[in-house]
């Protein structure tokens, strides 16, 4: 398994990490087989979050005898000091470990970013680092480019986790990823397969020669990792054949040919129609609806089965999808032909 250095942490991280968001869909025995095969295959970075159902418990049980063989990452969705401390202590118990290598503030958006600094969340993690309970502090951001920039410039974080796939090239690659890398942050690509949209074996357009020798998922991972600023990609996986495909990418990492990139981009262009990429071009909404946030939360419900957490997150929004007046101003800004008003109605029915 090829490795890259995670920013200024100095850690040598496998280019393919294990994204554990889907572990709640598996039995404990299935998790043990999958996770142990991942470690045996050279993966040395496992990422989860306190809100991923029983993912932390399953990792703790499955890998309790191998803790020194991998870097462990989890995320907290609280922002204030007391909430962060409680979630961190719970994660340590559930993961059955005395320390967590990397703890990230999870899915930070809007005014939440300032609350990390103003209500004691960051200070609490810094204290935990002094106590030896964690080693590094990071932040995960799904959508907001201004928040990403602020986090990079703050100097408070060693690692930035971003949603990055072939769908996101235009938003991040030109400026923010090189900027973060230059300033010493380790960059981790979550959702490198666009939440599962870049999987399976669809018919890809071809040009000078066929490219079917690898799956769509493998091509997509090669594409993400061809960005030299990215340290590690963390696809979610539930099946051994998915894991083996991902391990092959990590062992045989390569640059895609021009023909392969062209074919992949043609597929992305077609598949991206009607697919929300959380770019934020639909904003501002006259009614104040946080459209990308709602679609992202609905994705946690529909693709990852995190129903309780998704409803909790939706319930915390000040303005919900039923505030949509049908003005369709959002449609004018969306470059991906997403049927936003219709999808907002569906999301509200699902999440309310």
Average pLDDT, the chain: 92
- What mean pLDDT is predicted for residues 299-322? 90
- What mean pLDDT is predicted for residues 292-319? 90
Angle at 193 between CA 192 and CA 195, to 5 degrees: 105
Alpha-carbon distance of 49 to 243, in angstroms, equals 20
Burial class (CB in 10 A: 0-12, 13-18, 19+), 160: buried
- What mean pLDDT is predicted for residues 248-255? 96
SS3 for 252? coil
pLDDT for the residue numbered 210: 41
SS3 for 2? coil
Alpha-carbon distance of 109 to 112, in angstroms, equals 6
SS3 for 259? helix
Angle at 22 between CA 49 and CA 197, to 5 degrees: 115
| Domain chopping of the chain, boundaries | 3-271, 291-351
Copy the structure tokens of residue 103.
Answer: 């703890």
pLDDT for the residue numbered 107: 92
Among 211-225, 232-246, 265-279, whose mean pLDDT is lowest?
Answer: 265-279
Alpha-carbon distance of 279 to 294, in angstroms, equals 13
Q: How many CA atoms lie within 13 A of 309 on its CB side?
A: 23
DSSP state of 69: G
SS3 for 133? coil
- CATH for 3-271, among 3.40.50.11540, 3.20.20.100, 3.40.50.2020, 3.40.50.300? 3.20.20.100
pLDDT for the residue numbered 208: 41
Give pLDDT tens digits for 46-59: 999 999 999 999 99
Give pLDDT tens digits for 163-221: 999 887 666 777 899 999 999 999 999 999 988 888 865 555 554 444 457 899 999 99
Alpha-carbon distance of 51 to 71, in angstroms, equals 19
Copy the structure tokens of residue 79.
Answer: 């922002």
Confidence of residue 340 (pLDDT cuts 50, 70, 90): very high
């Amino acid at each position: 398994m090829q490795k890259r250095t995670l920013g200024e942490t100095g850690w040598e991280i496998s280019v393919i990490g294990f994204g554990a968001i889907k572990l709640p869909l598996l039995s404990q025995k299935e998790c043990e087989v999958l996770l142990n095969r991942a470690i045996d295959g050279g993966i040395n970075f496992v990422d989860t979050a306190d809100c991923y159902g029983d993912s932390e418990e399953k990792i703790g049980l499955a890998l309790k005898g191998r803790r020194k063989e991998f870097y462990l990452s989890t995320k907290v969705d609280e922002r204030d000091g007391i909430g962060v401390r409680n979630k961190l202590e719970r994660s340590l118990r559930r993961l059955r470990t005395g320390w967590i290598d990397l703890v990230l503030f999870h899915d930070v958006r809007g005014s939440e970013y300032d609350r990390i600094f103003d209500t004691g969340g960051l200070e609490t993690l810094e204290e935990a680092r002094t106590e030896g309970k964690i080693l590094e502090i990071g932040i995960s951001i799904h959508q907001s480019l201004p928040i990403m920039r602020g986090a990079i410039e703050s100097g408070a974080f060693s690692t930035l986790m971003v949603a990055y796939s072939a769908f996101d090239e235009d938003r991040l690659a030109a400026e923010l990823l090189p900027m973060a890398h230059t300033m010493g942050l380790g960059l981790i690509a979550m959702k490198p397969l666009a939440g599962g949209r870049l999987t399976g074996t669809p018919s890809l357009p071809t040009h000078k020669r066929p490219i079917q020798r690898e799956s769509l998922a493998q091509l997509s991972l090669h594409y993400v990792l061809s960005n030299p600023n990215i340290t590690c990609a963390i696809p979610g996986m539930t099946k051994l054949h998915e894991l083996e495909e991902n391990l092959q990418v990590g062992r045989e990492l390569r640059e895609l040919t021009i023909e392969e990139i062209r074919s992949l981009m043609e597929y992305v262009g077609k598949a991206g129609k009607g697919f929300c990429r959380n770019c934020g071009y639909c904003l501002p909404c006259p009614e104040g609806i946080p459209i990308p946030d709602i679609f992202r939360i609905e994705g946690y419900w529909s693709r990852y089965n995190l129903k309780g957490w998704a409803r909790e997150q939706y319930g915390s929004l000040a303005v919900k999808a039923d505030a949509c007046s049908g003005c369709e101003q959002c449609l004018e800004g969306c470059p991906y032909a997403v049927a936003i008003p219709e999808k907002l109605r569906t999301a509200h029915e699902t999440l309310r």
